[in-house]
């Protein structure tokens, strides 16, 4: 089994996961299913029953109750089996999303038996800096830049969720220092110095987001880091059409002379658009992230579409798992079996040689990520 470099994943919950919480972690929306229904009754639910149940010694397609009982019975061993069974060579974890609920990279690495590294979420750093002095906007832009620089020292990449916080339809011009200062002051002004709850510091001002993006890209250029960008499929915060990666084209163009790999994440249902950008712009890469898990039995169609136009040197593997170890395992299963299905079809039809398809498999499994992510060790 070819090891996969999961370049875009999050921590998982290591405690027992109660049935209701398990359901919430199966659905990106974050709300319970409507009365009389269950989040198990969705493509992801069936895929977990199909592929994860055997890892817990159950028959494929066992029912949700049996699954959850067995999972509880196994305790941490369930997560260990699922993480270990994914067959990863390395995992790069975004640590900026609900990090209090899930394990950290070191715990993930021990349980999965793999090397882990961190990807720093740009907007989370910005908000953390603001929360340190919530009533004080002075030099906020500079303080953020310094903090991001510090955080990036041990990271393999940066990640922006601007698609969530505004959409990609942002003016690509770098804002002036004066504009940033004014926007920072306006953002923090209504909060009393001592009263501002950190949770209220949600970065969504367009000027500050543009500053964050330019700062991140500049740092990525300097440090030789890729910049990940959430695109497409996400949660209730998102206006999906504004997260279409081609809407970010003016930014891609603005940075095209810089050797900063831009990696669009998920992209569904705009994965063809991502493939288009990857075919046109040398520095653009993408993955399907959580899409292969959430489209279950039909995920092969999505992967095949992602392979229509995309250079084979531009697609990356990731699970984008969050919360459930199942998602780490399932992502790897879906990717391996479905990529094999597409590529075997090409060989059978005479459209590629076996050696050609082996090469693609290796590139997507880890070769492409290996080329664009830094290899420096922590603290290096």
Cβ-proximal residues to 271 (8 Å cutoff; 6+ apart), any chain:
232, 286, 288, 291, 302, 305, 306
* Closest CB to a second copy among residues 298, 377: 298
CA end-to-end span of the chain, whole Å? Answer: 31
- Cβ pair 306, 271 in contact under 8 A: yes
Upper half-sphere CA count for residue 37 (Cβ side, 13 Å): 10
- Least gap, CB of 99 to a second copy (angstroms): 22
Listing DSSP states for 30-44 in one string gives: -SPPPTT--TTSSHH
* Closest CB to a second copy among residues 279, 340: 279
Burial class (CB in 10 A: 0-12, 13-18, 19+), 41: exposed
* Closest CB to a second copy among residues 126, 270: 270
Phi and psi for 274 in degrees, rounded to 5?
Answer: -65, -40
- Least gap, CB of 370 to a second copy (angstroms): 10
- Cβ pair 326, 52 in contact under 8 A: yes
- Least gap, CB of 243 to a second copy (angstroms): 9
* Closest CB to a second copy among residues 24, 68: 24
- Least gap, CB of 368 to a second copy (angstroms): 9
* Closest CB to a second copy among residues 198, 282: 282
- Least gap, CB of 374 to a second copy (angstroms): 15
The DSSP symbol for 349 reads: T
* Closest CB to a second copy among residues 189, 355: 355
Cα–Cα distance for residue pair 313/302, rounded to 1 Å: 18
According to DSSP, the residues that pair with 323 across neighbouring strands are 12
- Least gap, CB of 378 to a second copy (angstroms): 25
């Amino acid at each position: 089994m070819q090891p996969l470099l999961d370049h875009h994943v999050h921590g998982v919950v290591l405690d027992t996961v109660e049935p209701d919480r398990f359901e919430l972690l199966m659905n990106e929306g974050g709300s319970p299913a409507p009365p009389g229904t269950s989040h198990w009754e969705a493509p992801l639910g069936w895929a977990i029953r199909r592929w994860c149940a055997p890892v817990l010694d159950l028959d494929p397609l066992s029912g949700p109750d049996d699954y959850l009982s067995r999972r509880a019975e196994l305790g941490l061993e369930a997560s260990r089996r699922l993480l270990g069974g994914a067959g990863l060579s390395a995992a790069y974890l975004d640590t900026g999303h609900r990090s209090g609920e899930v394990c950290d990279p070191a715990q993930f690495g021990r349980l999965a038996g793999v090397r882990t590294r961190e990807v720093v979420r740009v907007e989370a750093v910005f908000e953390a800096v603001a929360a340190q002095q919530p009533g004080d906007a002075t030099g906020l832009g500079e303080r953020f830049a310094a903090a991001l620089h510090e955080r990036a020292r041990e990271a393999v990449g940066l990640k922006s969720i601007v698609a969530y916080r505004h959409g990609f339809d942002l003016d690509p011009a770098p804002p002036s220092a004066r504009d940033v200062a004014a926007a920072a002051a306006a953002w923090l002004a209504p909060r009393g110095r001592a009263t501002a709850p950190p949770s209220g510091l949600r970065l969504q001002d367009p000027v500050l987001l543009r500053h964050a993006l330019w700062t991140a890209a500049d740092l990525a250029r300097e440090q030789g880091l890729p910049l990940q960008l959430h695109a497409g499929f996400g949660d209730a915060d998102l206006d999906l059409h504004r997260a279409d990666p081609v809407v970010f084209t003016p930014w891609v163009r603005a940075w095209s002379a810089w050797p900063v790999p831009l990696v669009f994440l998920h992209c569904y249902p705009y994965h063809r658009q991502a493939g288009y950008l990857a075919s046109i712009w040398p520095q653009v890469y993408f993955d399907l992230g959580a899409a292969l898990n959430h489209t279950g039995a039909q995920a092969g169609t999505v992967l095949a579409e992602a392979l229509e136009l995309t250079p084979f040197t531009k697609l990356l593997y990731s699970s984008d798992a969050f919360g459930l170890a199942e998602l780490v395992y399932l992502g790897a299963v879906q990717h391996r079996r479905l990529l094999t299905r597409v590529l075997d079809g090409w060989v059978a039809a005479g459209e590629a040689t076996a050696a050609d398809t082996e090469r693609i498999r290796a590139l997507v499994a880890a070769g492409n990520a290996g080329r664009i992510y830094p290899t420096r060790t922590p603290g290096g």
